[in-house]
Amino acid sequence: MTWWCTGIRWKGSAPVIGWYGQGRGERVSTPAYGQRLAFVARGERHCLGVWRAGKRTPCPASAIVPGRGGSAQCPECARLDRSFSVAADTNAADPRTYRVYLAWFGPGMVKVGITAEERGSARLLEQGAMSWTWLGRGPLMATRRTEELLRSALGVPDRIAYARKRAVRAHLPGAPERAREVTELHGRAAALAGWPESLERLGCEVADHAAVFGMDGWEGLPAPDRVVAEMAADRAVVGRLVGAAGPDLHFEDGLVVDTRLLAGWELAAPDEGAVTSVPVAQIPSAAAPPMEQDGLF
Protein backbone atom coordinates (compact mmCIF):
# COMPACT_ATOMS: atom_id res chain seq x y z
CA MET A 1 0.00 0.00 0.00
CA THR A 2 1.32 3.42 -1.01
CA TRP A 3 1.67 6.21 1.53
CA TRP A 4 1.64 9.68 -0.02
CA CYS A 5 3.32 12.59 1.73
CA THR A 6 1.00 15.40 2.86
CA GLY A 7 3.74 17.88 3.84
CA ILE A 8 4.62 19.44 7.18
CA ARG A 9 2.19 19.91 10.04
CA TRP A 10 3.13 21.44 13.37
CA LYS A 11 2.13 19.36 16.38
CA GLY A 12 2.70 21.14 19.63
CA SER A 13 5.96 22.95 18.95
CA ALA A 14 7.51 20.37 16.64
CA PRO A 15 7.26 19.72 12.91
CA VAL A 16 5.81 16.41 11.78
CA ILE A 17 5.59 15.04 8.25
CA GLY A 18 2.14 13.75 7.33
CA TRP A 19 1.32 10.66 5.27
CA TYR A 20 -1.92 9.47 3.72
CA GLY A 21 -2.74 5.96 2.55
CA GLN A 22 -6.04 5.56 0.74
CA GLY A 23 -8.16 3.22 2.79
CA ARG A 24 -5.62 3.32 5.64
CA GLY A 25 -5.99 6.86 6.90
CA GLU A 26 -3.35 9.28 8.17
CA ARG A 27 -0.10 8.91 10.05
CA VAL A 28 2.87 11.15 10.84
CA SER A 29 6.62 10.81 11.26
CA THR A 30 8.68 13.17 13.39
CA PRO A 31 12.04 14.32 11.99
CA ALA A 32 14.67 15.54 14.45
CA TYR A 33 17.13 18.36 13.97
CA GLY A 34 20.55 16.84 13.35
CA GLN A 35 19.01 13.79 11.64
CA ARG A 36 20.10 12.68 8.17
CA LEU A 37 17.16 12.67 5.76
CA ALA A 38 17.22 10.95 2.37
CA PHE A 39 14.27 10.32 0.08
CA VAL A 40 13.40 9.92 -3.58
CA ALA A 41 10.07 10.58 -5.33
CA ARG A 42 8.41 7.58 -6.95
CA GLY A 43 5.65 7.27 -9.55
CA GLU A 44 3.43 10.29 -10.11
CA ARG A 45 2.15 13.08 -7.91
CA HIS A 46 -1.44 12.44 -6.81
CA CYS A 47 -4.21 14.80 -5.75
CA LEU A 48 -4.73 14.43 -2.00
CA GLY A 49 -8.45 15.23 -2.13
CA VAL A 50 -10.13 17.46 0.46
CA TRP A 51 -9.21 17.71 4.15
CA ARG A 52 -12.03 19.03 6.30
CA ALA A 53 -12.83 18.76 10.00
CA GLY A 54 -10.01 16.29 10.57
CA LYS A 55 -11.12 13.94 7.80
CA ARG A 56 -9.83 13.46 4.26
CA THR A 57 -12.14 12.80 1.33
CA PRO A 58 -10.17 11.11 -1.49
CA CYS A 59 -10.08 12.74 -4.92
CA PRO A 60 -12.95 11.11 -6.88
CA ALA A 61 -10.94 11.32 -10.12
CA SER A 62 -7.65 10.03 -8.59
CA ALA A 63 -6.12 12.94 -10.49
CA ILE A 64 -2.43 13.45 -11.21
CA VAL A 65 -1.16 16.96 -10.41
CA PRO A 66 1.93 18.88 -11.63
CA GLY A 67 5.17 18.48 -9.73
CA ARG A 68 5.87 22.20 -9.53
CA GLY A 69 2.63 23.48 -8.00
CA GLY A 70 2.44 24.41 -4.34
CA SER A 71 -0.84 22.54 -3.87
CA ALA A 72 -1.34 18.79 -4.20
CA GLN A 73 -4.95 19.24 -5.28
CA CYS A 74 -6.65 19.04 -8.65
CA PRO A 75 -8.81 22.07 -9.61
CA GLU A 76 -12.06 20.37 -8.57
CA CYS A 77 -10.81 19.38 -5.10
CA ALA A 78 -9.30 22.84 -4.62
CA ARG A 79 -12.68 24.39 -5.50
CA LEU A 80 -14.46 22.15 -2.99
CA ASP A 81 -11.86 22.97 -0.34
CA ARG A 82 -12.36 26.70 -0.76
CA SER A 83 -16.16 26.40 -0.74
CA PHE A 84 -16.05 25.95 3.05
CA SER A 85 -13.06 28.06 3.97
CA VAL A 86 -12.66 30.85 6.50
CA ALA A 87 -9.60 32.07 4.62
CA ALA A 88 -11.64 32.37 1.42
CA ASP A 89 -14.54 34.04 3.27
CA THR A 90 -16.91 31.23 2.34
CA ASN A 91 -17.70 30.17 5.92
CA ALA A 92 -18.84 33.38 7.60
CA ALA A 93 -21.21 31.48 9.91
CA ASP A 94 -18.41 29.65 11.74
CA PRO A 95 -19.46 29.83 15.44
CA ARG A 96 -16.00 29.29 16.91
CA THR A 97 -14.00 31.91 18.81
CA TYR A 98 -11.19 33.44 16.75
CA ARG A 99 -8.07 35.39 17.60
CA VAL A 100 -6.35 38.26 15.80
CA TYR A 101 -2.56 38.21 15.73
CA LEU A 102 0.46 40.21 14.57
CA ALA A 103 3.21 38.09 13.01
CA TRP A 104 6.79 39.30 12.35
CA PHE A 105 8.93 37.69 9.61
CA GLY A 106 11.72 40.25 9.16
CA PRO A 107 12.42 43.98 9.46
CA GLY A 108 9.37 45.82 8.15
CA MET A 109 7.60 42.53 7.44
CA VAL A 110 4.68 42.30 9.86
CA LYS A 111 1.24 40.99 8.95
CA VAL A 112 -2.12 40.79 10.65
CA GLY A 113 -4.17 37.62 10.57
CA ILE A 114 -6.80 35.55 12.33
CA THR A 115 -6.92 31.95 13.51
CA ALA A 116 -9.39 29.76 15.39
CA GLU A 117 -8.64 30.00 19.11
CA GLU A 118 -8.72 26.21 19.47
CA ARG A 119 -5.66 25.95 17.17
CA GLY A 120 -3.42 27.91 19.54
CA SER A 121 -0.22 29.07 17.85
CA ALA A 122 -0.28 26.42 15.09
CA ARG A 123 -1.10 29.00 12.40
CA LEU A 124 1.92 31.09 13.38
CA LEU A 125 4.20 28.06 13.14
CA GLU A 126 2.71 27.10 9.76
CA GLN A 127 3.46 30.56 8.39
CA GLY A 128 7.03 30.64 9.70
CA ALA A 129 6.47 33.62 12.01
CA MET A 130 9.64 34.41 13.97
CA SER A 131 7.93 36.64 16.54
CA TRP A 132 4.26 37.32 17.19
CA THR A 133 1.61 38.42 19.63
CA TRP A 134 -2.16 38.26 20.01
CA LEU A 135 -4.28 41.39 19.57
CA GLY A 136 -7.75 40.20 20.55
CA ARG A 137 -10.33 37.42 20.56
CA GLY A 138 -13.99 37.17 19.65
CA PRO A 139 -16.48 36.09 16.97
CA LEU A 140 -15.22 35.48 13.45
CA MET A 141 -16.66 38.62 11.87
CA ALA A 142 -15.34 40.83 14.70
CA THR A 143 -11.83 39.51 14.12
CA ARG A 144 -12.27 40.05 10.37
CA ARG A 145 -13.28 43.68 10.97
CA THR A 146 -10.25 44.18 13.22
CA GLU A 147 -8.01 42.72 10.53
CA GLU A 148 -9.45 45.19 8.02
CA LEU A 149 -9.05 48.07 10.49
CA LEU A 150 -5.31 47.45 10.75
CA ARG A 151 -4.95 47.08 7.00
CA SER A 152 -6.69 50.35 6.25
CA ALA A 153 -5.49 52.49 9.18
CA LEU A 154 -1.91 51.26 9.59
CA GLY A 155 -1.17 49.72 6.19
CA VAL A 156 -0.46 46.31 7.74
CA PRO A 157 -0.90 43.55 5.11
CA ASP A 158 -2.71 40.29 5.70
CA ARG A 159 -0.40 38.41 3.33
CA ILE A 160 3.37 38.31 2.78
CA ALA A 161 4.83 36.34 -0.12
CA TYR A 162 6.59 33.27 1.24
CA ALA A 163 9.68 33.95 -0.86
CA ARG A 164 10.19 37.22 1.02
CA LYS A 165 10.10 35.40 4.36
CA ARG A 166 12.59 32.82 3.16
CA ALA A 167 14.99 35.39 1.70
CA VAL A 168 15.52 37.19 5.03
CA ARG A 169 15.40 34.22 7.40
CA ALA A 170 19.19 33.76 7.68
CA HIS A 171 19.83 37.47 8.29
CA LEU A 172 17.44 38.39 11.08
CA PRO A 173 18.20 40.71 14.02
CA GLY A 174 18.18 39.36 17.56
CA ALA A 175 15.13 38.55 19.63
CA PRO A 176 14.98 41.96 21.42
CA GLU A 177 14.77 43.84 18.12
CA ARG A 178 12.21 41.40 16.76
CA ALA A 179 10.07 41.89 19.86
CA ARG A 180 10.44 45.66 19.77
CA GLU A 181 8.89 45.99 16.30
CA VAL A 182 5.96 43.75 17.27
CA THR A 183 5.43 45.67 20.53
CA GLU A 184 5.46 49.04 18.79
CA LEU A 185 2.89 47.94 16.22
CA HIS A 186 0.69 46.40 18.91
CA GLY A 187 0.69 49.76 20.68
CA ARG A 188 -0.27 51.62 17.51
CA ALA A 189 -3.06 49.12 16.83
CA ALA A 190 -4.40 49.38 20.40
CA ALA A 191 -4.62 53.18 20.07
CA LEU A 192 -6.88 53.02 17.01
CA ALA A 193 -10.55 53.94 17.25
CA GLY A 194 -13.13 51.71 15.67
CA TRP A 195 -12.41 48.33 17.25
CA PRO A 196 -15.51 46.07 17.22
CA GLU A 197 -17.29 46.08 20.59
CA SER A 198 -17.58 42.28 20.57
CA LEU A 199 -13.79 41.83 20.38
CA GLU A 200 -11.92 41.28 23.64
CA ARG A 201 -8.59 43.08 23.47
CA LEU A 202 -5.48 41.19 24.57
CA GLY A 203 -2.27 42.65 25.97
CA CYS A 204 1.04 42.41 24.15
CA GLU A 205 2.96 39.24 25.03
CA VAL A 206 5.55 38.61 22.33
CA ALA A 207 6.49 34.99 21.64
CA ASP A 208 9.59 34.00 19.65
CA HIS A 209 10.04 30.90 17.48
CA ALA A 210 13.78 30.96 16.78
CA ALA A 211 14.50 28.04 19.13
CA VAL A 212 11.45 26.09 17.94
CA PHE A 213 12.60 26.47 14.34
CA GLY A 214 16.12 25.29 15.25
CA MET A 215 17.68 28.62 14.31
CA ASP A 216 19.75 28.71 17.50
CA GLY A 217 21.93 25.99 15.95
CA TRP A 218 22.49 27.66 12.57
CA GLU A 219 25.55 29.67 13.57
CA GLY A 220 28.56 28.60 11.52
CA LEU A 221 26.46 26.84 8.87
CA PRO A 222 26.03 28.06 5.28
CA ALA A 223 23.16 30.50 4.90
CA PRO A 224 20.09 29.07 3.14
CA ASP A 225 20.91 29.86 -0.49
CA ARG A 226 18.81 27.58 -2.68
CA VAL A 227 15.37 26.01 -2.56
CA VAL A 228 13.90 22.94 -4.23
CA ALA A 229 12.04 24.22 -7.30
CA GLU A 230 10.23 21.03 -8.23
CA MET A 231 9.92 17.40 -7.24
CA ALA A 232 10.10 14.87 -10.04
CA ALA A 233 10.01 11.10 -10.29
CA ASP A 234 13.27 9.41 -9.32
CA ARG A 235 14.81 12.66 -8.08
CA ALA A 236 16.35 12.60 -4.59
CA VAL A 237 17.00 14.87 -1.62
CA VAL A 238 19.84 13.91 0.73
CA GLY A 239 21.19 15.92 3.66
CA ARG A 240 21.24 16.64 7.39
CA LEU A 241 18.23 18.48 8.79
CA VAL A 242 19.15 21.52 10.90
CA GLY A 243 15.85 23.37 11.19
CA ALA A 244 12.30 23.92 9.99
CA ALA A 245 10.12 27.00 9.63
CA GLY A 246 6.61 27.09 8.23
CA PRO A 247 6.56 24.50 5.41
CA ASP A 248 10.34 24.62 4.94
CA LEU A 249 12.93 22.04 5.95
CA HIS A 250 16.44 23.53 6.26
CA PHE A 251 19.46 21.36 5.51
CA GLU A 252 23.04 21.71 6.68
CA ASP A 253 24.39 22.54 3.20
CA GLY A 254 22.05 25.52 2.71
CA LEU A 255 19.33 23.65 0.79
CA VAL A 256 15.72 24.46 1.67
CA VAL A 257 12.97 21.93 0.94
CA ASP A 258 9.49 23.42 0.68
CA THR A 259 7.39 20.47 1.79
CA ARG A 260 4.37 21.74 -0.13
CA LEU A 261 6.22 20.33 -3.14
CA LEU A 262 6.52 16.91 -1.46
CA ALA A 263 2.77 16.59 -0.89
CA GLY A 264 1.14 14.02 -3.15
CA TRP A 265 4.34 12.05 -3.80
CA GLU A 266 5.30 8.61 -2.63
CA LEU A 267 8.69 9.09 -1.00
CA ALA A 268 11.06 6.14 -0.70
CA ALA A 269 14.62 5.50 0.47
CA PRO A 270 17.11 6.25 -2.34
CA ASP A 271 19.90 3.98 -3.49
CA GLU A 272 23.05 3.93 -1.39
CA GLY A 273 25.34 6.77 -2.34
CA ALA A 274 22.52 8.93 -3.73
CA VAL A 275 22.96 12.71 -3.71
CA THR A 276 20.48 15.55 -4.08
CA SER A 277 19.30 15.61 -7.69
CA VAL A 278 16.09 17.67 -7.62
CA PRO A 279 15.91 20.95 -9.58
CA VAL A 280 16.77 23.91 -7.34
CA ALA A 281 16.37 27.68 -7.53
CA GLN A 282 18.62 30.29 -5.92
CA ILE A 283 17.19 32.16 -2.96
CA PRO A 284 17.60 35.89 -3.65
CA SER A 285 19.55 37.93 -1.13
CA ALA A 286 17.58 39.88 1.44
CA ALA A 287 18.43 43.07 -0.47
CA ALA A 288 16.80 41.81 -3.68
CA PRO A 289 13.03 41.20 -3.40
CA PRO A 290 12.35 37.76 -4.91
CA MET A 291 10.00 37.15 -7.80
CA GLU A 292 6.77 35.36 -6.99
CA GLN A 293 6.20 32.29 -9.10
CA ASP A 294 3.13 30.08 -9.37
CA GLY A 295 2.04 31.18 -5.89
CA LEU A 296 4.81 29.01 -4.46
CA PHE A 297 7.82 31.23 -4.09
The closest of 90, 114, 79 to 100, measured between CA atoms, is 114
The closest of 183, 256, 253 to 213, measured between CA atoms, is 256
Query: What parts of the chain have a pLDDT lower than 50?
Result: 88, 287-297
233-255: burial string, b at 16+ Cβ within 10 Å, e else: eebbbbbebbbbbbbbbbbbebb
The closest of 238, 242, 241 to 218, measured between CA atoms, is 242
- d(Cα 125, Cα 11) in Å, to the nearest integer? 10
- d(Cα 142, Cα 140) in Å, to the nearest integer? 5
- d(Cα 116, Cα 247) in Å, to the nearest integer? 20
pLDDT of 293: 40
The closest of 123, 129, 143, 127 to 202, measured between CA atoms, is 143
Residue 195 CB coordination number (10 Å): 18
